[in-house]
Structure 1
Amino acid sequence: MAVSLDMLSLLPDPLLIIIISLLPFKEAIRTSVFSKSWCNNKLFKLTTNIEFNELFFVKSYQPSIKHLQRKAFLDFITFWIDNNKESIIEKFSLKLSMPNNVSELTEKCIAFATHKGGVKHLELDFSDPKWVEYNNVAPYHKFHEPMFALPKHVYDELKGIQILKLYSCRFVEKDLLNFHALKEVSFGWMEVSIFLINSLISNCKMLESLSLKRCWNFSEFYLRDRNQKLKKLVVDNCSFQYELFRVVAPNLKFFKYSGMMSYFDIKGCPQVEVADLDFSTEFGFGGKGYRLYNFMEDFYSLKVLTVCSYFLQVIPHGSDMLRMERNFNIRHLTIKTQLNKSDYRGIVFMLRSCPMLQCLTIQLGCARIWPNYAQPFASAPKNFWTENVRIYECLKSSLEVLEVKGFQGFDKSEIRMLAYFIQSGKVLKKMTINMEKDIILSCNRNLDLNPRKFAEFLLKVPRASTDLEITIC
């Protein structure tokens, strides 16, 4: 009779603890079922990566059930702290709404994480899930006062901290500047001055990543990286008093911006390779084509770009309605669109401007046309992909991969688009069509498509590339 061998039990405890600590906290707890030694010795409790997340427990919107789930979460925190007081913690995350209602436990929780001073990664998120994001509706949000204040002892105990993420958490600015080892900083749902941002970059000479989400009180955004260390910048729906957005960061590689169209000046960022631009919170079209076109002229170093439907509708209204004056160096382009008639010219604009494009991702979603929008050229959506067809340079020589996410099938323009790329992509090797039902349901639409018949239809479309493989999932 064969005896099953538990190979994990043969590993020494120090190595098991390292393995467990590399797992997300939720998964580390689940590992107790893998091995008898893990369960009996409670090795999973020695993980150096701890995450107390209210959303792991609170799933219901019903007040009575939600109250019981929150109580279970708070009891879990209390039990863990009381039974693991000697734990060494390197990464600690606490996500808790309404912390002032349990301020004593909140402070106890933070002290538990920082008492040995070894934490390198600290995340405190006191934002409330009920705070509406206003996605695709409006750029402004209610200015919520921070729900909790960072305890004073943290400033003394975490001198060596490398990653700090604070959401709706008040702090003392001058004391925060003493965290000289910081490599990554994230602020959210709070008032933050641009003076503090520049002071952090100046004082923390190793800072490589900065993220701001739903922050406010910027007179104008003017960031200057004199240390030339900043590589990643994320600005997510922050509120500025003025429309000027200027960044001087010579070694910036990744740039993500969500919010209103500003007067952008990023000439001081010549090495940006990855950009994600989302202007979907704009109120209206407003004739901002020239502003967007001029902004994109500074992005010729890009290799990966993600753009929204607003971008596609506005970019053809710039200095040149057909393409960028200088070609982009983009290898992977992601466009978020519903393939409505207002987006078509922007799609063509980008195909013309990216002659070296290797991968195109089309993320289909809910349609939106901005007020006062006027097409630069007349177009008939029904015939867009079939009449006067042009094969752009990237389709002739470089485009090898096409990904379509959220395919819905009810709109014939989606099928015509696929047929166009099959017939025109001379070097196309892989086409992946992902039918994401969650996107369809969020748009209040039904998936009325027989995958088998759809596949049979695609097989009948003449192929420009003999190497093309099509996957439907």
Structure 2
Amino acid sequence: MADNLDMFRKLSEHLILIIISFLPFKEAVRTSVLSKRWRFMDCALQQIQNYQGRLGLDFSDPTWAEDNLDNHAALFDLPLNVFGHIVLESIKLFSCNFRNSDFMNFTALKQVSFGWLELSLSFIKALLRNCPLLESLSLKKCWNLDHLEISGPNLRLKCFVADNCSLISNEIVIEAPNLRFFKYSGTIPHFEFEIHPAHMEEAVLSFGMELDYDESIGYDLYKLLLQLYPIKVLTICSFMLQV
């Protein structure tokens, strides 16, 4: 083992860079923990990331159940040198930690997808404020959100997905005049919608995590449907049919 490490240390930085360029992006990022010699990995990352301006890292465990309330700590910390690539247009981070302040460098983002992460409402608001080109936002199994508020001046958002996220106050406020697609899965929250009826095309509503029914739920769903009207395509779960 020691001999192998010695052979590795003898490699030139140029050769290591070539090796990194042939690795899948996820594996290339993982090499950052091997040695301080990988400081030039920033160059390799740029070659890979600039391909169509996309970054996708999924470190979630396939055995994690999507329909329970368990939260799982992120398994990976995003290297700081990644935040230098401000030209990214699409980013997907599942079970991958990052510093909120550094993320605001990505002002060119059009598509953002987070999964299995602890997020705050203040971060979501800052993201919408600092990414004026954002058109798609997806949150899957995120937690520690007081509630969800999707709003902001000149918001371009066309697609918003909230999939089994844990909300402390169980409230979702959406003020997105350009929204065309909305998908929600989880328990029934209090919804407040301000959308442009002519733009809204499709909504998918699934309340499979809702265990109990009372009369107030029926009224909340009635108000939700009124706020979405006259949507073109509406997909609902069996729970709504029972209500």
CA deviations over 1:315-344 (Å, ceiling 9, x no partner): xxxxxxxxxxxxxxxxxxxxxxxxxxxxxx
State yes or no: 1:161 paired with 2:161.
Answer: no
State yes or no: 1:124 paired with 2:124.
Answer: no
Contact 1:184 1:209 in 2 (8 A): yes
Contact 2:21 2:44 in 1 (8 A): no
Q: Which amino acid aligns with 1:232?
A: C
Q: How far did residue 199 of structure 1 move?
A: 0.9
Partners of 1:84 and 1:227 lie apart in 2 by 44
Identify unmatched segments of 5+ residues in structure 2: 1-15
Taking structure 1 as reference, are residues 258 and 93 closer, same or farther at Cα in structure 2, changes over 3 Å only? Answer: farther
CA deviations over 1:86-141 (Å, ceiling 9, x no partner): 56x9xx7639xxx98x9539xx7x8586143624110111111111223xxxxx42
State yes or no: 1:239 paired with 2:172.
Answer: no
Taking structure 1 as reference, are residues 126 and 111 closer, same or farther at Cα in structure 2, changes over 3 Å only? Answer: farther
Taking structure 1 as reference, are residues 310 and 112 closer, same or farther at Cα in structure 2, changes over 3 Å only? Answer: farther
Q: How far did residue 286 of structure 1 move?
A: 2.5
Q: How much is the aligned-residue C-alpha RMSD, in angstroms?
A: 2.9
State TM-score, norm by structure 2: 0.81
CA deviations over 1:330-388 (Å, ceiling 9, x no partner): xxxxxxxxxxxxxxxxxxxxxxxxxxxxxxxxxxxxxxxxxxxxxxxxxxxxxxxxxxx
State yes or no: 1:286 paired with 2:214.
Answer: yes
Taking structure 1 as reference, are residues 115 and 267 closer, same or farther at Cα in structure 2, changes over 3 Å only? Answer: closer
Q: Which amino acid aligns with 2:214?
A: G
The residue number in structure 1 matching 2:193 is 266
Give secondary structure in 1 for the equivalent of 2:123.
Answer: helix
Partners of 1:208 and 1:113 lie apart in 2 by 28
Q: Which amino acid aligns with 1:235?
A: A
State TM-score, norm by structure 1: 0.43
Partners of 2:25 and 2:152 lie apart in 1 by 28
**Residue 234 (structure 2) aligned to one of 305, 318, 335:** 305
Partners of 2:102 and 2:151 lie apart in 1 by 21
Q: How far did residue 180 of structure 1 move?
A: 0.7
Contact 1:167 1:189 in 2 (8 A): yes
The higher-RCO structure (CA 8 Å, 6+ apart) is 2
Partners of 2:92 and 2:196 lie apart in 1 by 25
Contact 1:245 1:265 in 2 (8 A): yes
> What does residue range 83-94 of structure 1 map to in structure 2 within 5 Å?
85=20, 94=26
Q: How far did residue 142 of structure 1 move?
A: 1.3
The residue number in structure 2 matching 1:229 is 156
Contact 2:179 2:195 in 1 (8 A): no
Q: Which amino acid aligns with 2:194?
A: K
Q: How far did residue 227 of structure 1 move?
A: 2.1
Partners of 1:125 and 1:113 lie apart in 2 by 19
Q: Which amino acid aligns with 1:284?
A: D
The residue number in structure 2 matching 1:295 is 224
Identify unmatched segments of 5+ residues in structure 1: 1-80, 135-139, 315-473
The residue number in structure 2 matching 1:417 is none
Contact 2:115 2:139 in 1 (8 A): yes
> What does residue range 205-216 of structure 1 map to in structure 2 within 5 Å?
205-216=132-143
The residue number in structure 1 matching 2:127 is 200
Q: How many residues align?
A: 221
Q: What percentage of residue pairs aligned between the two structures are identical?
A: 40
Give secondary structure in 2 for the equivalent of 1:205.
Answer: coil
Q: How far did residue 267 of structure 1 move?
A: 2.7
Q: Which amino acid aligns with 2:204?
A: D
The residue number in structure 1 matching 2:8 is none
Partners of 1:278 and 1:133 lie apart in 2 by 13
Partners of 2:160 and 2:207 lie apart in 1 by 16
Partners of 1:141 and 1:104 lie apart in 2 by 35
State yes or no: 1:172 paired with 2:99.
Answer: yes
Contact 2:187 2:209 in 1 (8 A): yes
